Amino acid sequence: MRALLIDQKDTVAVVVEPVNAGDEIRYAQPDGTEKTVKALEAVPVFHKVAVCAMKKGQAVVKYGEHIGAAAMDIQPGQHVHVHNVESVREAL
Protein backbone atom coordinates (compact mmCIF):
# COMPACT_ATOMS: atom_id res chain seq x y z
CA MET A 1 0.00 0.00 0.00
CA ARG A 2 1.50 3.30 -1.05
CA ALA A 3 -1.41 5.61 -0.20
CA LEU A 4 -4.34 5.93 2.19
CA LEU A 5 -7.90 6.75 1.24
CA ILE A 6 -10.06 7.23 4.32
CA ASP A 7 -13.61 7.88 3.11
CA GLN A 8 -15.48 6.56 0.07
CA LYS A 9 -16.27 10.19 -0.92
CA ASP A 10 -12.57 11.16 -1.05
CA THR A 11 -11.21 12.47 -4.34
CA VAL A 12 -7.61 12.30 -3.08
CA ALA A 13 -5.45 9.77 -1.27
CA VAL A 14 -2.39 10.54 0.88
CA VAL A 15 0.85 8.86 -0.21
CA VAL A 16 2.80 7.18 2.60
CA GLU A 17 6.11 7.10 0.74
CA PRO A 18 7.65 9.28 -1.97
CA VAL A 19 6.23 8.56 -5.43
CA ASN A 20 7.93 9.11 -8.79
CA ALA A 21 6.19 9.94 -12.06
CA GLY A 22 5.04 6.71 -13.68
CA ASP A 23 4.79 4.74 -10.41
CA GLU A 24 1.65 2.72 -9.74
CA ILE A 25 0.07 3.91 -6.49
CA ARG A 26 -2.01 1.28 -4.68
CA TYR A 27 -4.60 2.27 -2.12
CA ALA A 28 -7.34 0.45 -0.23
CA GLN A 29 -10.94 1.57 -0.48
CA PRO A 30 -12.93 1.72 2.79
CA ASP A 31 -14.76 -1.46 1.66
CA GLY A 32 -11.42 -3.31 1.55
CA THR A 33 -11.01 -3.47 -2.22
CA GLU A 34 -7.78 -2.19 -3.73
CA LYS A 35 -7.40 0.29 -6.56
CA THR A 36 -4.42 1.75 -8.35
CA VAL A 37 -3.68 5.05 -10.04
CA LYS A 38 -0.60 5.85 -12.13
CA ALA A 39 1.36 8.86 -10.88
CA LEU A 40 1.52 11.54 -13.58
CA GLU A 41 4.20 13.41 -11.63
CA ALA A 42 6.30 13.03 -8.48
CA VAL A 43 4.36 13.25 -5.21
CA PRO A 44 6.24 13.91 -1.94
CA VAL A 45 5.53 11.71 1.06
CA PHE A 46 2.34 12.67 2.98
CA HIS A 47 1.06 14.78 0.07
CA LYS A 48 -2.16 14.12 -1.81
CA VAL A 49 -2.69 12.41 -5.16
CA ALA A 50 -5.91 12.64 -7.17
CA VAL A 51 -7.76 9.32 -7.42
CA CYS A 52 -10.39 10.67 -9.83
CA ALA A 53 -10.73 13.50 -12.32
CA MET A 54 -11.82 16.86 -10.88
CA LYS A 55 -13.02 19.79 -12.96
CA LYS A 56 -12.02 23.36 -12.11
CA GLY A 57 -14.22 24.52 -9.22
CA GLN A 58 -15.13 21.00 -8.08
CA ALA A 59 -14.70 20.17 -4.40
CA VAL A 60 -11.49 18.43 -3.34
CA VAL A 61 -12.48 15.89 -0.67
CA LYS A 62 -10.15 14.39 1.96
CA TYR A 63 -11.33 12.40 5.01
CA GLY A 64 -14.87 12.83 3.67
CA GLU A 65 -14.71 16.64 4.00
CA HIS A 66 -14.28 19.43 1.46
CA ILE A 67 -10.79 20.87 1.86
CA GLY A 68 -10.93 23.29 -1.07
CA ALA A 69 -11.79 23.53 -4.75
CA ALA A 70 -9.81 22.51 -7.78
CA ALA A 71 -8.14 25.67 -9.13
CA MET A 72 -7.82 23.93 -12.53
CA ASP A 73 -8.80 20.60 -14.04
CA ILE A 74 -7.00 17.82 -12.15
CA GLN A 75 -6.42 14.35 -13.60
CA PRO A 76 -6.13 11.06 -11.69
CA GLY A 77 -2.51 10.59 -10.62
CA GLN A 78 -1.70 14.29 -10.34
CA HIS A 79 -0.13 15.78 -7.21
CA VAL A 80 -2.81 17.79 -5.37
CA HIS A 81 -1.47 20.68 -3.31
CA VAL A 82 -1.51 24.50 -3.06
CA HIS A 83 -0.59 24.88 -6.75
CA ASN A 84 -3.92 23.42 -7.93
CA VAL A 85 -6.31 23.80 -4.95
CA GLU A 86 -7.83 27.03 -3.69
CA SER A 87 -9.51 27.77 -0.38
CA VAL A 88 -13.28 28.06 -0.41
CA ARG A 89 -15.36 29.43 2.42
CA GLU A 90 -18.53 27.35 2.66
CA ALA A 91 -21.78 28.46 4.25
CA LEU A 92 -22.28 27.01 7.70
What is the residue extent of each domain of the chain?
3-86
Supply the pLDDT for residue 31. Answer: 87
What average pLDDT values come out for the chain (92 residues) when binned by 10 residues?
91 97 94 94 97 97 95 98 89 54
pTM of the model: 0.92
Q: How far apart are CA 61 and CA 12, in angstroms?
A: 7
| 3-86: CATH number | 2.30.130.110
How is residue 21 annotated by DSSP?
T
